[in-house]
């Protein structure tokens, strides 16, 4: 950024609530231009797969973010961006605290709210069982950020010991994002799927890729910047925002609520009998489909 650019932006760095909302709409278009020998014996293998619905809801209000701006801009909501997710059993597929962003697409989410590159990286990660992106708000027809009352939903199929990682941008920032711990959110308690509110497992993180400005005010933040990637490069490391000196941010539960519910459970038992010449397998599968009012069990 040149001194001239900085001066031009500084002269228009004050914003009203109308500017904030207009910037968020522009951000929606900007960020989403972007997915061995035979043996004797027998063995019984048991597997349990559960389809879970993950809901990420924006619970901020028009006054959640307090800024130094005058007039209406002094209080603002906190939009959230489309994001990417992964189901895995080990490792840290998206980031590692204390290390630089991996050039895997996290920077694009944290700075511009664009999940496409990170979703592609997760799809090619051998430690990831399944992955994808959440881009279209519930009730919407096209990709967009979500404001107060808006939500993203996506389904994952998981087994005991599986974990969920995801990232979504704290939009009025330079490079902040919400995510569980780097090792992911455990999707089961023992053999039972984890359900209900899991917001306490989510934190606000700094990607360390762009110097922070006051949230909701900075001229290089996605709602006001001239284009993607504009801003002063930080060359830092990923850190929990509580470990970063600077500005005050709303509590996580004042902005986002993450919940999980069971959609379907499948239990599979396979008995394999092995001889020197033949292998015989039998499979029994039970599917339990759950709705809000009824539970039906099918066995075949």
* 274 occurs within a structural domain: no
Q: How far apart are CA 183 and CA 156, in angstroms?
A: 17
Q: How confident is the model at residue 81 (pLDDT cuts 50, 70, 90)?
A: very high
* 242 occurs within a structural domain: yes
Give the domain extent around 26. 3-35+51-261
Mean pLDDT of 54-63: 98
Contact 187, 260 (CB under 8 A): yes
Predicted TM-score (pTM) above 0.85:
no
* 180 occurs within a structural domain: yes
Q: DSSP labels for the chain?
A: --HHHHHHHHHT----HHHHHHHHHHHHHHHT--------EEEEEEEEEEEEEEEEEE---TTSEE-S--GGGGEE---EEEEEEEEESSS-SS--TTS---SSSHHHHHHH---HHHHHHHHT-TTEEEEEEE-SPTT-SS---B-TT-EEEEEEEE-TT-EEEEEEEESSSSSEEEEE-TT-EESEETTEEP-EE-GGGEEEEE-SSB----TTT-TTSTTT-SSTT-S-B-----EEGGGS-S-----GGGTEEEEEEEEEEEEEEEEEEE-SS-EEEEEEEEEEEE-SS-EEEEE-
* 284 occurs within a structural domain: no
* 243 occurs within a structural domain: yes
- Over residues 38-52, the pLDDT tens digits come to 333 333 334 589 999
- Over residues 107-162, the pLDDT tens digits come to 999 999 999 999 999 999 999 999 999 999 999 999 999 999 999 999 999 999 99
Q: How confident is the model at residue 236 (pLDDT cuts 50, 70, 90)?
A: very high
Instruction: Provide the number of structural domains found in the chain.
Output: 1
Question: Residue 202 above 50 pLDDT?
Answer: yes
Q: How confident is the model at residue 223 (pLDDT cuts 50, 70, 90)?
A: confident
- Over residues 158-191, the pLDDT tens digits come to 999 999 999 999 999 999 999 999 999 999 999 9
Question: Residue 204 above 90 pLDDT?
Answer: yes
* 15 occurs within a structural domain: yes
* 218 occurs within a structural domain: yes
Considering just the CA atoms, what is the radius of gyration of the chain in Å? 23
Q: Residue 280 has what pLDDT?
A: 39
Q: Residue 246 has what pLDDT?
A: 87
* 295 occurs within a structural domain: no
């Amino acid at each position: 950024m040149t001194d001239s650019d900085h001066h031009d932006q500084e002269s228009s760095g004050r914003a009203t609530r109308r500017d904030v909302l207009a910037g968020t709409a522009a951000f929606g278009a900007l960020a989403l231009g972007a997915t061995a020998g035979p043996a004797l014996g027998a063995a019984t293998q048991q597997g349990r797969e559960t389809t879970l619905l993950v809901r990420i809801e924006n619970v901020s209000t028009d006054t959640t973010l307090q800024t130094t701006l005058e007039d209406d801009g002094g209080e603002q909501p906190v939009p959230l961006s489309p994001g990417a997710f992964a189901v895995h059993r080990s490792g840290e597929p998206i980031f590692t605290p204390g290390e630089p962003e991996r050039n895997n697409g996290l920077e694009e989410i944290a700075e511009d709210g664009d999940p496409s590159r990170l979703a592609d990286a997760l799809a090619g990660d051998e430690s990831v069982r399944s992955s994808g992106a959440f881009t279209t708000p519930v009730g919407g027809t096209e990709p967009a950020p979500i404001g107060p009352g808006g939500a993203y939903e996506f389904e994952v199929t998981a087994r005991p010991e599986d974990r969920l990682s995801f990232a979504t941008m704290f939009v009025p920032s330079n490079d902040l994002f919400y995510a569980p711990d780097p090792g992911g959110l455990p999707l089961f308690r023992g053999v039972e799927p984890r359900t209900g509110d899991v917001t306490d497992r989510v934190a606000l993180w700094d990607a360390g890729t762009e110097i922070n400005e006051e949230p909701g005010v900075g001229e290089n933040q996605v709602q006001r910047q001239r284009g993607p990637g504009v801003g002063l490069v930080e060359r830092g490391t990923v850190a929990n925002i509580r470990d970063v000196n600077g500005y005050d941010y709303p509590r996580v539960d004042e902005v986002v609520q993450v919940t999980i519910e069971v959609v379907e459970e499948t239990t599979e038992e396979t008995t394999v009998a092995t001889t020197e010449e033949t292998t015989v397998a039998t499979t029994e599968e039970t599917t339990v489909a759950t709705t809000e009012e009824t539970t039906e069990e099918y066995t075949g």
